[in-house]
Copies of this chain bind each other. A is one copy, B any other.
């Protein structure tokens, strides 16, 4: 990626990949169908023309690229550490830290989970499926190396993922991020010796 250091200041024509996180936030706030082009232009400071120049496929392409970026972030900060850390407990720790950070301690929803539930689910089914499957698989690998039996590690990985997602739903429903932080704390205690 041939880009210089400082990304622009959030208003006044940000570059294409500086715009992606802003687009992501609009989707998180309003959902896929709920997000309108007007909101997208306002959030990015880009006119419709520029948006369609960057993303000829319109909203659908924007969402797809947003998912891809999220997936990339998790690949670097979560999946890879889980798979590659020499000390598997260190991998788990990094997963929990990154997760807590990414979801802003429960104040930020999971866009991928939202897309899984929403009406747009079929549009992005493959990406959504891949994201969770790669997370589950990397987590299972770490749990197995931490001393678990193979089948049991797989089940535990699934359970942990689902608790994270559920905590995000409930935190939002109760308007209490504490649900999320409590859950992560409990997961750490249960799975990191």
Contact = CB atoms under 8 A, between A and B. Distances in A.
A35 B109 CA distance: 22
Contact of A169 (B31, B34, B117, B175): B117
Interface stretch (A17-25, A56-64, A88-96, A179-187): A179-187
Contacts of A167: 162, 166
Q: Quick one: which of A117, A169, A173 has the most chain B CB within 10 A?
A: A173
Interface in A76-127: 109, 112-114, 116-121, 125
A70 to B, nearest CB: 13
Interface stretch (A44-52, A128-136, A142-150): A128-136
A132 B162 contact: no
A4 interface: no
A31 B118 contact: yes
Contact of A170 (B119, B132, B155, B172): B132
A183 B155 CA distance: 9
A35 B175 CA distance: 25
Given A117-B114, A162-B163, A166-B163, A174 B133 contact: yes
A30 interface: yes
Nearest to A39: B119
A169 B172 CA distance: 14
